[in-house]
Amino acid sequence: MYKARIRVTLRKSILDPQGKAVEHALHNLNYGSVAQVRVGKYVELSIDEPDEASADKVAREACERLIANPVMEDFEIELEKQSESEVAQS
């Protein structure tokens, strides 16, 4: 069992109005030192595959086919092996 943590971000060249809105709001709250705010998605999922290579394949295909928009977004996957006790807890 693997835990995948996926960060989906808009590509650098794509304008991010939500990030701009957060940035302006933070400036209005007097956090003037904040800049370059970008807002993306964060997805966590458990993958029940026997080895890391197949878990990574599932996570990557899930991103390419469903979670991320390949035209506008990039994604990064972090995989972590979960012990049985962690699985039972969650």
Residues making contact with a second copy (CB under 8 A): 5, 7-9, 12, 19, 22-23, 25-26, 29, 31, 33-49, 55, 58, 61-62, 65-67, 90
Quote the least distance from Cβ 71 to a second copy, whole Å.
Answer: 19
Quote the least distance from Cβ 62 to a second copy, whole Å.
Answer: 6
Beta carbons within 10 angstroms of residue 9's beta carbon = 19
Tokens of 61: 């295909």
Residues forming beta bridges with residue 79, ordered by sequence position: 4
Return the amino acid letter for 75.
F
Quote the least distance from Cβ 37 to a second copy, whole Å.
Answer: 5
